[in-house]
Structure 1
Amino acid sequence: MSFYKLYDFLRDLDKNNSKEWMDENRKRYHEVRDWYISWLNEMDAKLAQVDKDYYATPGKKAINRINNNLMFHPEKPTYKDHFGAGLDKAPDTGDFYIHLGLNESFIAGGFYRPSSKILTSIRDAIDYNGEEFKKIINKKSFKDMFGGLMEDDMLKTSPKGFSQDHQHIELLRHKSFAVSHPVTQKEVQQEDFQERVISVYKEMLPFRRYLNKAITV
Structure 2
Amino acid sequence: MNFNSLFQFLTELNQNNSKEWMDGNRKWYKEVRDDYIAWLDELDLALGAVDNEYYSTPGKIGINRINNNLMFHPNKPIYKDHFGAGLDKAPNTADFYIEIGLGQSMLAGGFWRPDPKTLRSIRESIDYDGEEFKKILNKKSFKHTFGELVVDGTLKNAPKGFSKDHPHVELLRHKTFAVMHPLAHKEILKDDFKEKILSVYMEMLPFRRYLNKAVTV
> Fold-level match, TM-score > 0.5?
yes
SS of the residue corresponding to residue 216 of structure 2 reads coil
**Residue of structure 2 in register with 1:80 after alignment:** 80
Deviations 1:119-160 (A, max 9, x none): 100000000000110111100000000001112101111100
**Residue of structure 2 in register with 1:66 after alignment:** 66
Deviations 1:15-62 (A, max 9, x none): 000010001111110111011101000000000011111000001111
The CA deviation at 1:101 is 1.3
**Residue of structure 1 in register with 2:43 after alignment:** 43
Partners in 2 of 1:193 and 1:37 — Cα distance? 16
Partners in 1 of 2:72 and 2:174 — Cα distance? 25
Partners in 2 of 1:71 and 1:64 — Cα distance? 17
Partners in 2 of 1:176 and 1:95 — Cα distance? 14
Partners in 2 of 1:182 and 1:191 — Cα distance? 18
**Residue of structure 1 in register with 2:132 after alignment:** 132
Calculate the TM-score normalised by the size of structure 2.
0.98
The CA deviation at 1:71 is 2.1
**Residue of structure 2 in register with 1:198 after alignment:** 198
The CA deviation at 1:205 is 0.5
Partners in 1 of 2:28 and 2:143 — Cα distance? 39
**Residue of structure 1 in register with 2:144 after alignment:** 144
The CA deviation at 1:94 is 0.5
Where in structure 2 are there 5+ consecutive unaligned residues?
A: none
RMSD: 0.8
SS of the residue corresponding to residue 181 of structure 1 reads strand
**Residue of structure 1 in register with 2:207 after alignment:** 207
Partners in 1 of 2:74 and 2:169 — Cα distance? 38
**Residue of structure 1 in register with 2:22 after alignment:** 22
Partners in 2 of 1:14 and 1:179 — Cα distance? 27
Partners in 2 of 1:210 and 1:59 — Cα distance? 25
Partners in 2 of 1:8 and 1:139 — Cα distance? 38
Calculate the TM-score normalised by the size of structure 1.
0.98
Correspondence 1:171 to 2:133: no
SS of the residue corresponding to residue 215 of structure 1 reads helix
Deviations 1:57-100 (A, max 9, x none): 00111110101112222221111111000000111000210011
Partners in 2 of 1:72 and 1:66 — Cα distance? 15
Where in structure 1 are there 5+ consecutive unaligned residues?
A: none
